Each structure stands twice: as C-alpha cells, then as structure tokens.
Structure 1
C-alpha cells in the first residue's frame, strides 16, 4: 500500500509538510488500550481529519491487499498494492453533529496506475490479477485507531458505509460517502494537545484496526482483521490568523457598566475541509503571576462560522468584561506589576500578548451536541493577541508654570517643577472612558536634535485627564515638583539658556523616553508601564529685552577702601511669565564701556511670577578688575549717572557664576546682558531722574552762590573735597567756582543739603550776567558743569558733573 504523497497533504505557510508513513500489511495483536497518564491539559483539534484519512488509507490498501492475498503470491500482491494505488482526498466536510460524534462527508478519488510499480514481475502479476477481478464490493467498515506511544490512548472510531471499488489498471473510483466519526475521550484530547501545543509532538505513531469483508458478485470473499501502523510526521502548526477588527466600548448591562469587545479574525485555511460551526461560548483568560496560572477575565461568544474548502475563515466574536478579579490587578509577589499591568504593557508596546481561550461549558445553540461542549471546555489554546503600535501617540507636549532650581549642595542636578500638558492619541478601536490619575517618566531632552540631559520623574505625580470633544484624543495634565534634570551636555544647554534670554518667542525642545501611567476605570485601577513619550516641548518665553526693567529700591555702602566699595543693593524685578527659578547662588561681573568695574552676587534667589524683591551684594573695585582704564570708566559712568544721563550696565557670566554647577558656569561663560542702570525709585530708565542739584541761589553783590543738592545715596553721605565748576547760560560762561574747602552732602534719606555759599567769579562780559540783572529778584535757567573730587565712605574718586537739565537759579542781591 503506498503512503500518502507528501505533496498532497495540506500545510500551513511556514509549517512543515504533514506526511503519513505506513508499514507493510501485517496482522498484529493490539493490547487493550489503557487510560492516559499525562497530567498536561492542553488540547489538539485535528483528530477528526486524521481519523478520516487513516480510514480511507486502510480501506483502499486493505481491499487490494486482501484480494491479492486471496488470488496471488502474497508478497507480490502486497508490493503491487503499495506502489500502484494512490488516494486523492478532494474534500472533507462535516455533514452534521450527532450525540456521539460527527458525520463527515468524504469526497476522494482512488486511482490505480501500474506504471508506478517499478518491478516488471510485480507490475505484470498485479495487472493480470486485478483485470480478472475487475472490481470488489466492500461491506460496512469499522475502523479504530490508537496511539501506542501514549499508553495506547484511543484516538477515535470511524464507520464507513459499503462501497464498490474498481481495481483495474488506469481506472479511478470516485468516492462520495458519509462516515460516522466518534472522537476520543476528553483525557486523550488533553494528553495529545498538551504535547502538541508545547512543541513536543513532532510525530505521532498510530495503529489502525479494521474488520474488512469483501464481496464479488454473489461470492463472499474471506473476512479479515487488518491492522496497520502509521507515522504522522511534521505535523502542521496552528493556522495563521489576522485580527482585522477590534472595537472596545463601554456598555450598560442590567444597569451595570461593562466592557464589550467586538473582534473579527481571518484564519488561513489551506485544507480541503468544510464545516458550519454554530455559535459557541468561550472564556478568555490571561496569564497570572505564576507561569501556569490563568485568570479568567472575559466571556466570549462566536457567531455562526462558515468554513469552506481552502478558503480563509472569517470569525466574528464578542467578549464581555463585567469586572476584574482582584488577583488580576494585584501586584505579583516580589514585583510592583500586576498581571494586568504586564498584559497591557505588551499590548501597548506593539508586542504580542498571550490570551488563553477555552470553552465555557455552556451550550449556546441546540445544534451543538453535549460531547462537543465538554470537549471544548477541556481545550485551552494560547492565542497571540497582537499589540497596538503606539508610534506618534503623543500629539503635543508642553510645559507651563516652570520652576528651575539650581543645585544648593543637597542635589547634583537642576530641579524642574512644572505643569505638564500632553495630548495623547487613543487607538481608534477604543471608545472607553479613561482617567489617568498619576504619571512618572524618564526622558532624554534635546535641542536642535542634540541631547543635553535627562528628565527623571521617578516618583508618582498626580494627574488628571479629559477627552477632547469629538476627537479620539485625551488631554492629560500633571504637576511635577523638583524632578531632577540631569544635564549631560552643558554646551547645548547653554544654547537653550541663550535662546531663552535673547531669542524670544518659542523654544522647541525634543523629548524622547518612556512614561508610566496610572489608569482609573470602573473596573479598577491599574498601571501601564513604559509608554513611549516622544515629542516636542514648546517653551513660550519673552525676549529678555522686552522684560520690564528692574526698579532700584535701595542702595547702601556697606564698607569701603580708598579705591573700592561693597554695596548692598535692593531692586524689584517683575516677572510677567509663569516661569520660576530658584538659584542658591550666582555671581555676575558688572562692566561699563568695555571695562569690568566689579561684580554682583545674589543669594537664595527665588524668582516667581509677578514682582520679586532681590538683594544684590555688589563689589565696586574698578582698579582691581579693570586697571587704570577701569577706574577712568568708573568715574565717567558715575559722573554721567549723577548728571541724569542715561547709562547702561553690562552683566556677564563667568566660570564661577554658578559654583554649585561649575560646568554650567563654564558653558555660560561670557554671556552678556546689557540693561539700563536703574534709578532710585523708578523702573523706567527714560523717566527724568531726580536732579542732583535741585536749585541754586546767585548772590550778585557778594559774588557767591549756594546750592540745594539731593544725594542719590539714601544711607551714605558724600564728602566734597574739591569743586571746580562753571555756570552756563545760552552757551556762554556765566561764572566759575573753584572751591577747595570740604563740605558734606548728607544721606538722601535725611533730605536735601544746603551747601555753604561758594565764591563765584562772574564773567561781566557774558550775556548771562546781563540776563541776571534783567531778572533780578526772579529766576534764571542755567546749566552747570563741574569737576569734583569727592569721597563716599573711604573711597575717593574724581567725577565730572554735566547736568542734563537746566537748574532754576534764584537771582538775589
């Protein structure tokens, strides 16, 4: 009897070909099958087709072999039967289910071709013998099969009706009959399924037994019990399938909320089998904490399934989740992840998540026999559940109310506090009310595609979410407090700072990392880990030049030497943005006209939205920082300042600007910011300043003048050593003063200072002199300029006063 050709055996793509190898015809004794002893519980679902194929093979081979044994040399007949006969199975379909099994309609062709016999003697004897017999009638046939390697587990029984087979060379018998198939018991299915699904069942040895009775005309031929060994090798894998549709939504069931999932699956069917499957009930489980544990999660029901020969199978199913078992969302021992966390993590990362499907033991349709319900309930099949690709899931990502805190000795990295808002695209197949209640994340941050640091939100932060109306989007907000920003590239980070200070507008940063989200649903709370968090952070910051100018509130000379002073300066600065910054210590260089004049130190700065009061410790030391050129620039600046001219100060960073982060100071080295010098009591540098010389009185007969001076320093007096000046009217010198006696200008908080009368040398030929007599007893607008040698504390300096505004001079006798 020839073995079934390998190329006629159905196979799945990528799977090995299934073949049936048979042994020569023999009569053997079959021991009574014993009960299976395996404790494994995974099933196999292909026993019916193998029983049918075995039945056909035994039927055709047995007919020819018995005939040959009866009329010819047994060995020759056996070889002819093995090589000349072939079986082509056209289709195998389930005709109907019965209480004991299933009726299977078989369509097949039995072909006899002597040319396949290589030996001339065997071929000739076979052709002559079959030509004499021509055809034979086979009585009703009962075939049973066992698996000897599995303690002779009973594989099933097939009952084939009577039929006539043409034995002549070159003839083909077309078979079309209905066979009764009785499947094995549940334990046998579990035994073989466990082996198959675990990958241990590569070949299956089968022993078939049949009681064969033949008839030729009115002559009954001898009755024989025939047995045959088969080897089923290269068993095909489970057919490939494609999840074409999944839609998950919330529904009301008996006034209670539930989750309904509708699924459509297309399964490849390369086999010539047909079947109509009534609705069936299943239970769906997901893996538990232990490798072998299963947690029932959902109940599922299929619709009618129509299986056609060699056509893809469409399966529509719906699953219902009414509640989640406590152990499904409880953390596994030694872990902070629950089975639900692990399942969702695989799904949301595009990885295949395994679900286990088995019959639920209930009968959904009268057409389904009880034995099939029991068999399905014993079957547990692992099914890969394809994950969702979450690329580009974050549509936008922004920060507001940002607070950046530089290290203060208790930490090594800047700390970031902010309100995070993200727009997340939900899967189109999901229509569920979700609420994200907490977040944590780790993400690399970059600028112009260059990484400069890592944001590490390692602790859970509170969050809230809401559905964007009419869109499958979720808006998520969370508040981060003191999350470390581990800067790895301060050179790139300095570019971000400079863009924020001088660029104005939006600063776009890249972010790439993962986030964990705590999700709250009516079924319970669970956590999704390692969600991709990639996108852009948009920082909307005003250009520094558009920021309100600082207001000088107070200034005090704390200590001084002959060439230097230490000042305590109080300023107010308005921050119109929601951004905040905490700087434990910073130091900036102060320069004017290209020369460094000193430095300013700010400690424990907390810059918040609105008006901020800042204390600056300033060191005025132009000789040390700028040499003689620095001293000249300093005295020139001081003269312009008290004269009421607009001047500017340049603030610049240096290596030691931020000692808690030396790398940041180095990266920001030589960043320069030029601001108008603030005036006492004013934040508007264009606002006319308070006059240093408020008024003057000219005494004509005594040739003298006295002045009312307002000291800009509220706490420190100014000691005038030498005054060499002149009064100017309409461009000509009205008079000059050269006064070498010291006098004190008292601190500004004590009010204006009335100077002693200073001798004046009038210019009798000037137009101003005539003008004074013309307005005698009244006032005259004059300009004043002077070189003055003065001291503030112990610090001596020589300044030039050149009033920007005229002085109201009272002309007296």
Structure 2
C-alpha cells in the first residue's frame, strides 16, 4: 500500500515504483460505493477516465495552443504561444470511448472552441494575436502527438494521444465545432496503478498534469513546425468513486455439482454527472475480506458484472452476480491476541450498522476475455479496490421475545462476593425478522448472551450467559421470520438498579396479573450451521422487548394450613413451625435459600417468619415457615394487645389475616435487594381452624355445649386449633345469650386442659353457671328441656400455650349448639 502522504511530496512520488501490485486502493471516506458489484463498473469508469485525460489535454492544447501559434507565428512568433494559451475557451460537450484497442482507447471528442482575445493579459500579445488572426483567418493543422505527464509523480507518462488533422478558424469571436476521434494509449501501467491507488485513498484532491505537443501548421504553401508547446492543468476536487443506490439484492442458495453454493444478484444505480460515455465489457472480479494482519486478504468469492453502458450526464445501471462455494478456514479462525476471527470482525461491523470493507480485484477468468483488451485486464488484475459495505441497522429486527418456564434462584450467601446475583433459568423464544433479500437455510445451534434489561428505557439489570446454551431455529412458513428457541440454565441476572427493579417487581406481583414489557439491549454470539459449514458469529445486536405475564396474586389460591406446632416458648413468646400447602398455577418458579419477613396485623408488628430452602415450582408446593410470635418484643404493650385481639378473632371464627413485610435484612445474601424491597408487603388470610381445604367450611373453637339446669353447670365440646400442643384454660369469664337475651354467666378460675387437636375434641369439666332466671332467654332455655337450641357465647379467657400466657376475648361468629338437660 502506498504511503498516505500528501500528493505534493516529491520524494514520495519518486518511490512510486516500489509499490507492489497487491496494494489496495483505499476509498474516499466520504463516498459510499456499492458493495453489490457497482464498484466494478465504477473502477472501469475510473480507468477509462484516466484514458480521457490525455484527450482533454490534447483538445485544449490543440485549440488553445495550436490555433494561436499558427496565427501569431506569422507576425510575432515569440507571442504566439502566450496568445494561444490565454485566448482559447473550451466547452466540452462529450467525451466517449469509441472502442478499446489492443494498445489503448479510441476516444470520440465533441467540443466547441471559441477564440476570445479579451482573455489575453498583455496588450502587446493580445494585439499581435488579433492582427495575425484577422489576416490569416484559418489554418490547417496536421496530425499531432500529445504526451500527458504527471509532475508530482516524477513527470511520469500518464498517456499519449494522436489527434487527427483539422482546419481551425482563428479569428476573434469565432466558434469552432469539433468532432473527432483521438487514439489514446496508456503510459506506464505502474504509474497509473499508483495514481489510481492514491485516487481511491482520497489523497488526490487537486491533480496536476501537463501536456506536451509538437505540431506542423500550414496555410497554403507555407509550412512550419512548432515543438514542445506545454499546457498545464489542475483537476480540482477530483471526485472519488460516485455514490450509488442499490435497487435490487437477493442472496440465496443453489446447488452446483451437488454442493450448496451461495449466489448473490444485485443491481445498482450509480450517479454520473459527467459528460463521458463508454460501454464497459463484462468484467470478472475476486472478492476478499481483511485477514488478521492489516495487509492480509482472504479470498472469499468471485463476481462478474454485465456489460455497462455509460451515457453522458445519465445515471448508470450496473448488474452484478457472485457466488461463494465454501468458507476458507482462515476466515473463521480466531486471530492472535483477540477472540474474533476475520468473519467475526466483518459481520460484527455489518450487524452494528458500521461500515465494513471488502476488497475487489480484477479476475477476467470469471467471465473470459470478451471485449476487454489485454492491457485493461492486466491493469484491473493489478488493482485491488477496497469497497465499503454499509452496515445494516437492526432496528425492530426482534419481533417478539418471551420467557417461559422461568426459574429464579436467589443466592445463598456462600458464593464468591463477586458472584452474588440471582440465577435465571428459562426457555427463551424469539421471532427475528429476516431481511427480505436473504433466502438462506441455516440453523442456530448454540447461543451466548450479554444484555442489559430495561424497564421503560431505564436499565435495571444485566443478563449474562457466558457459557453456550443449546438452541434451535426454524423458518416460519410464508413469513420472513426466524423462530429461535433456547434453554437458559442458571444464568446470572445482575441487578444494577434496585429502585427500578422494585417497580418491576411490584407490577409483577400486584399489577392484577397484567403483563409488563421489559427491554433488552446487548449482544449475542451464535453458532450457525449452514450449507457452507459451521461457524460462529460474535456480537450480534440483541435488542427488543420481553413480555412478562404478571402474577395475579389476588386470583391465586391462598395457602392452606397443613400443620402447626409450638417448638419453643417463653412467658411472652413462642416459636411455631407452620406447614403450608400452596398451589402455583403460573409458569414461574423460584428458589429462595433464606428469607425472613415481619408478621403484623392492623399495622402492628407482632413477630417474624423465616423460610429456608424454599422452592416454589409449578403446581403443588409445601412451604415450611418458622414463625416467632413475640408481640411484646416488637411492639410492646401495643403489640401484646394486637396479638390478643388477632387470636381472639381467630378462635371466634372471624376472617383474619396477617401482613407479611420485607425488611432490610430479609435476604442477607443480597442486602441491596432487601433494602430495595423493604417497603414491599402483602396481606394473606389466616387459614380457618381445622380446615385442610380452602373450600371446606371453617370449624368453631366451641363446637357444642350441654346445659345442666338442676346443677347450674355447663360443659363445652372444644376443638383445639393446635394439632400437636395442648392449651390450658386458666380462667374463664363468659356469658351465654339467646336472641340477645342473657341466659346465664360463667366465671371459673378452675384450670382445665384442652388436648391437642390431633387427639380429637375435648369435653371440658362442668363449669358453674349463674342462671339469669328472670330473663326471656332463660325461660326459653327451660322450655327446651331435653332438646337443643343455638346460643351465642362471649367470654374473656386466659389461656396458656406452652409457657406463654395471654388473654383473649371470644365472641363467636356462629351459634353454639346447646343441649339442655335437667
């Protein structure tokens, strides 16, 4: 590759012969040549344009130099050249390649030349020129030879032109309409190749050339020759390859000799604001990708262009086709000191919307020699053109993204401190919109993902899948969609913003079951199997939306009490082991190694609950809760009162509930998660006494009673809500009523024991009753002798569970069936 120095550097130009033929031609960074083959036509246009420069110089030298020289040469020869160079005005109408020859190009030139003496700077030169032109009128010019050289490339020969003889009117103000064919030949091909390299590299901004011509002029019988007339030119703001627009592109698979081949066909429209015309014969090219080293190239495919017809100031249409039969091993091999292969780098740039580069080199073996001469084929084969490939933006490429069979594991706290994150397992499904131009059969067999997870545009976590996960893909019939399905196992879900995560969790749990939309934005690696073999693409943009179904907690069946036991107690507290049965109808699963929540009622904290190794799977689940009932510790007297009211309402058959609240130490392994969720709480109903099924009618603490009128006593049939632990009734102060009228009162300080619930109901000893003999209720009771009626009972009871004492107020919600005996 030539050095990217200024074109004005003489030392740099003197070393042009050191460049080798494999040096690439770098494109102007501000242009976007076609990646689908239109560049091939453009490079041919460029070569032809180089050949037209001698024609332009020849024409100007002819009309600006020769005409004035002829006129002034008869009168003041020393002024002839100056007058000629300054007075000629050239209007180039068209320059067309008439045909390619074995040695060069025949160029047809159409132009108008006007002699304008006012353009001549010095009066003496202008006067002598006008006088000579007025006397002579017109002159004849014999065939002339023009050499065009490059002063900034050690005056290297760019090309030569042979211009046919003609008659020229030289009077001031006259217009000459010229139409002739010049035979041009390229100069040193290595110089042309080097110039083309600088041109493609954007180093040629203002190109300097000069033409040298010798001629024979005659008027009538007078002949004389003039040697070494020189005309300098500067081509300002020389454009690089023209912009293009792809109008058609299709990439698909075909069978060739029982092998799969990728075939690409493309059409492009190329701007042509120039008055040039030519017909470019079909040309062949080799397509290469950059290798691991800066100067290495890996051959990838071959391509061929159709015949391209170029018309002046008319857009050019180019058709190109190419095919790829197999992937070179070097293309998919990871480069040293990097984890990317050349294909990874190329496709990664393309998929991220960045401009990648392919290299095009002439290869006439693709289409045969055709009409192209040997010198043109040799030049094209020695030129390597870098073609920028504009990246493809993947906005909205993921049509849908869903997670099913979700399983979340919270950390235990025993992990490496840098690895304390929730782990996600799930089945991932995505619908990917494929470009309509691509029709290839391939399968994605493995995936890696590194993606941010966002809610309403704010990232709150990162999903990192470093190890390959199995995947599969399939085309959706009659749609440009690819369905990809993968299985994630224990992938870290790193929470980066717990404030946003708290909002997400609240909407999931308490959003009434409504789905929420999350975003993902990151990259993925894919292992792809195709007809060309297996290869890995790194850093594929992975962005889109995840739709998560909400958890309808309000509609979910509440846990039912399976077992409860006192494991330890003091005079003011007790520890309970509670076994719950819970149904999970959602597709979500969660594993929590340790959690602790506060237990409260009516806004007062009365204890806490701890769950270890909780695994909630789909369907039926068993949950073990170790609960601490300690109202005094958490809320003092207010807590004791709240706890007694709760227990009194519970044994009375009221609908009671507990509020479970997350606190800053709920998840010790993830203190940030605990703090973020510390305001999270939800209320759950307490299971009814003796109910094993939520649909089973609740039972009462006092199932029935027997009233003894003569002995003024009563006994009660009691159901202990504790299946394993007895309850001691220390004192009882109650009243029985019928339809609101008192029947009698009971006051007893005689302790009696209620046996454990699993041992059956307990019949209390006969307790003394003070009948209210004058009341309507007692009268009705007396009339029901040997029968039964329904009484309402209220009582203040002091009971003892284990070592803990507490007083509760019983106020039954349903009547007590009372048997009346003498």
The correspondence of residues 623-662 of structure 1 with structure 2, limited to 5 A, is 623-662=632-671
Aligned residue in 1 for 2:20: 39
C-alpha deviation, 1:528, in angstroms? 4.5
CA, structure 1 residues 305+682, in 2 after alignment: closer, same or farther (shift >3 Å)?
farther
Query: Contact 1:361–1:374 (CA<8 Å) still a contact in 2?
Result: no
**In 1, Cα distance between the equivalents of 2:181 and 2:471?**
65
Of 355, 380, 393, 1:389 maps to 393
Find the residue that maps to 2:312 and give its secondary structure: coil
Query: 597-606 or 533-542: which moved more?
Result: 533-542
Of 313, 317, 322, 1:314 maps to 317
The reply on whether 1:433 has 2:436 as its aligned counterpart is no
Aligned residue in 2 for 1:689: 698
**In 2, Cα distance between the equivalents of 1:573 and 1:212?**
107
Aligned residue in 2 for 1:108: 111
C-alpha deviation, 1:268, in angstroms? 2.1
The reply on whether 1:611 has 2:589 as its aligned counterpart is no
Find the residue that maps to 1:103 and give its secondary structure: strand
**In 2, Cα distance between the equivalents of 1:496 and 1:104?**
73
Query: 112-121 or 765-774: which moved more?
Result: 765-774
Aligned residue in 2 for 1:575: 584
Find the residue that maps to 2:353 and give its secondary structure: coil
Find the residue that maps to 2:392 and give its secondary structure: coil
Aligned residue in 1 for 2:39: none
Aligned residue in 2 for 1:269: 272
CA, structure 1 residues 355+448, in 2 after alignment: closer, same or farther (shift >3 Å)?
closer
Aligned residue in 2 for 1:493: 501
**In 1, Cα distance between the equivalents of 2:173 and 2:346?**
60
Of 368, 379, 388, 1:375 maps to 379
**In 2, Cα distance between the equivalents of 1:229 and 1:120?**
21
CA, structure 1 residues 371+642, in 2 after alignment: closer, same or farther (shift >3 Å)?
same
Query: Contact 1:570–1:613 (CA<8 Å) still a contact in 2?
Result: yes
The correspondence of residues 501-650 of structure 1 with structure 2, limited to 5 A, is 501-518=509-526, 519-650=528-659
**In 1, Cα distance between the equivalents of 2:550 and 2:275?**
70
CA, structure 1 residues 313+52, in 2 after alignment: closer, same or farther (shift >3 Å)?
same
**In 2, Cα distance between the equivalents of 1:416 and 1:750?**
46
CA, structure 1 residues 147+501, in 2 after alignment: closer, same or farther (shift >3 Å)?
closer
Query: Contact 1:511–1:533 (CA<8 Å) still a contact in 2?
Result: no
Can you give the 5+ residue segments of structure 2 that lack an aligned partner in the other structure? 1-6, 8-13, 26-45
Query: 534-543 or 434-443: which moved more?
Result: 434-443
**In 1, Cα distance between the equivalents of 2:443 and 2:403?**
20
Query: Contact 2:562–2:692 (CA<8 Å) still a contact in 1?
Result: no
**In 2, Cα distance between the equivalents of 1:543 and 1:586?**
22
CA, structure 1 residues 637+110, in 2 after alignment: closer, same or farther (shift >3 Å)?
closer
**In 1, Cα distance between the equivalents of 2:480 and 2:119?**
66
Find the residue that maps to 2:545 and give its secondary structure: strand
Aligned residue in 1 for 2:10: none
TM-score by length of 1: 0.88
**In 1, Cα distance between the equivalents of 2:634 and 2:482?**
57
CA, structure 1 residues 191+653, in 2 after alignment: closer, same or farther (shift >3 Å)?
closer
Find the residue that maps to 1:798 and give its secondary structure: strand
C-alpha deviation, 1:550, in angstroms? 0.5
CA, structure 1 residues 677+306, in 2 after alignment: closer, same or farther (shift >3 Å)?
same
C-alpha deviation, 1:92, in angstroms? 1.1
Find the residue that maps to 1:627 and give its secondary structure: helix
Query: 270-279 or 782-791: which moved more?
Result: 782-791
Aligned residue in 2 for 1:403: 407
**In 2, Cα distance between the equivalents of 1:297 and 1:266?**
25
Aligned residue in 1 for 2:28: none
CA, structure 1 residues 150+596, in 2 after alignment: closer, same or farther (shift >3 Å)?
closer
Query: Contact 1:36–1:150 (CA<8 Å) still a contact in 2?
Result: no
Query: 594-603 or 554-563: which moved more?
Result: 594-603
Give the count of matched residue pairs. Answer: 782
Query: Contact 1:436–1:517 (CA<8 Å) still a contact in 2?
Result: no
The reply on whether 1:141 has 2:144 as its aligned counterpart is yes
C-alpha deviation, 1:651, in angstroms? 1.8
TM-score by length of 2: 0.87
The reply on whether 1:130 has 2:133 as its aligned counterpart is yes
Aligned residue in 2 for 1:91: 94
Aligned residue in 2 for 1:11: none
Query: Residue deviations 1:746-766, cap 9 Å, x none?
Result: 222233334344444555566
CA, structure 1 residues 35+381, in 2 after alignment: closer, same or farther (shift >3 Å)?
closer
Query: Residue deviations 1:383-410, cap 9 Å, x none?
Result: 2222222223233333333333333222
The correspondence of residues 3-42 of structure 1 with structure 2, limited to 5 A, is 36-39=17-20, 41-42=23-24
Aligned residue in 2 for 1:240: 242
C-alpha deviation, 1:570, in angstroms? 1.0
Find the residue that maps to 1:47 and give its secondary structure: helix
Query: Residue deviations 1:691-712, cap 9 Å, x none?
Result: 4344444555555444443322
Query: 581-590 or 802-811: which moved more?
Result: 802-811
The reply on whether 1:197 has 2:209 as its aligned counterpart is no
Query: Residue deviations 1:515-566, cap 9 Å, x none?
Result: 2241443224444454444443322123322111111111111111111111
CA RMSD of aligned residues (A): 3.2
Aligned residue in 2 for 1:3: none
Query: Contact 1:42–1:190 (CA<8 Å) still a contact in 2?
Result: no
CA, structure 1 residues 447+201, in 2 after alignment: closer, same or farther (shift >3 Å)?
closer
Query: 230-239 or 497-506: which moved more?
Result: 230-239
C-alpha deviation, 1:496, in angstroms? 2.2
**In 1, Cα distance between the equivalents of 2:80 and 2:69?**
9
**In 1, Cα distance between the equivalents of 2:734 and 2:16?**
126
C-alpha deviation, 1:728, in angstroms? 4.3
Aligned residue in 2 for 1:28: none
CA, structure 1 residues 238+610, in 2 after alignment: closer, same or farther (shift >3 Å)?
same
Of 473, 477, 490, 1:482 maps to 490
